Structure 1
Amino acid sequence: MVAGSTQSSSRQQRQHNRPMDDIVKQALAKWPQVPDCYGWLGLDMRGRWYLRDDAAQAGGPFAQSKGALLQHDKLIAFIARNYEPDAQGRWFFQNGPQRVYVELALTPWVWRLQADDFSVLSHTGRKAVALDCLLDAQGRVYLATDIGVGLVHTLDVGIAAEAVAAGHWTPRPVLAEELPARYRYTPSPCALRDAGRR
């Protein structure tokens, strides 16, 4: 069984703080007071990014109205390099001087598994070390890792089953709705902001 571990948000913050793109650092220095952006970017359960314009946001939360699938490879790579959480567990993409908070379909990471050695890669291409394996009532598989919790991509659930059969992981039951509190992340920074305004 993989040992369970709940990472503190401060430890996760340190682990995610990687060097940002130089252009991002320069923009932050030049325009430090640019307001944060909410509701415009979403991450689905397959690790795909969606741009959510006014019409998509008017259609409801991310689960109901995803917006337009991002397909520009260089933009996707730029988002991946500058994706991290703040101290409150709200995940964002640092777009130059502006922090763009991400609406999460389920978890902040989506894992791709390697069949030869069961190693774990995030949807952004980051390596992770599995600490715990979880299974919810819908049959979705999650891995808690040294960089946070994430959903195993649907195409890789078979590989996860092989890892379990080989004794690498022992799934433990979890309620999907308990994951944000347990692993200290915010699925909808936009909803949290709006709730604070009431």
Structure 2
Amino acid sequence: MDEWVLNALKRWPNVPALFGWLGLDRRGRWLVQGEAISHPRIIDVINRNYAADEHGRWYFQNGPQRGYMQLESTPLILFVADDNEHLITHTGLAVAQLHAAYIDEEGSLVLTTEHGPGELRGTDLQWALDRLSIDGNPVDDDALATALGLPSQSRTDITLTVGSSQLALQRLDFAGAPSALSFDRAPAPREGEKVSTRAMD
């Protein structure tokens, strides 16, 4: 978090939270009331002050006010870095640790990282497909179709290799990802929580 944000939280610790205004789409774009934010400075501020609470609700800490994010997919969107070897989050953080890999019924790939769970951007899926194997052999369309047809939360025969990480690919339905990976796609106020109807300037 930025120092000015931490200072604002100390000065005004009980500002009501904002729900339903902010979002993150599957391309890694921040949204406000459904419209993509394009101003680079605003994007940078959100990137630096984005976090999760103890209930798996991700938010932007805008000074003393917390604005909870509606997630189209996962809390993070992962991109292939310029070196074509590593991954970065949509907030610009380098991914150094990959813990698990999941594929949903549509073929989207979700990885759990030290920063949280993230879906690989759709335009980078070929990069991941080139790194899938079964017993050291490339994965063909039939093997991939078999994996996609497995029940959710079952292990496939496929391995994803990224750098020194070798991850057993697991099937996980899109709808089941939040509960399995401990995040909330549509944060809502909890009992007794103060709520604001407008964003702070």
SS of aligned partner of 1:127: coil
One-letter identity of the residue aligned with 1:175:
D
What CA distance in whole angstroms lies between the structure 1 residues aligned with 2:82 and 2:38?
Answer: 26
* Secondary structure, aligned partner of 2:132: helix
- 8 A Cα contact 1:25 1:96, kept in partner: yes
| CA distance in structure 1 between the partners assigned to 2:6 and 2:82 by the alignment | 37
1:93 to 43, 57, 60: 60
How far, CA to CA, are the matches of 2:126 and 2:117 in structure 1? 19
Identity of aligned residues (%): 35
Task: For structure 1, list consecutive stretches of 5 or more residues without a partner in the other structure.
Answer: 1-19, 53-66
TM-score w.r.t. the length of structure 2 is: 0.74
Task: Give the root-mean-square deviation of aligned CA atoms.
Answer: 2.0
Alpha-carbon separation, structure 2, partners of 1:139 and 1:114: 21
Aligned length: 161
Normalized per residue, which structure has more helix? 1
Q: Deviations over 1:48-89 (max 9, x none)?
A: 01101xxxxxxxxxxxxxx21100001001000000000010
Of 34, 46, 53, the residue aligned with 2:27 is: 46
User: Structure 1 length as normaliser, TM-score?
Assistant: 0.75
| Structure 2 residue identity aligned to 1:32 | P
Deviation of residue 104 (structure 1)? 0.4
Which of 185, 191, 197 is the aligned partner of 2:183?
A: 185
Q: Which residue of 1 aligns with 2:142?
A: none
Q: Quick one: distance in 2 between partners of 1:31 and 1:144?
A: 34
- Equivalent position of 2:36 in the other structure: 69
Where do residues 80-159 of structure 1 align in structure 2 (5 Å cutoff)? 80-114=47-81, 116=83, 118-128=85-95, 129-159=97-127
The aligned amino acid for 2:60 is F
Deviation at 1:116, TM superposition (A): 4.3
Q: Deviations over 1:19-52 (max 9, x none)?
A: x111111211221121011111000011101101
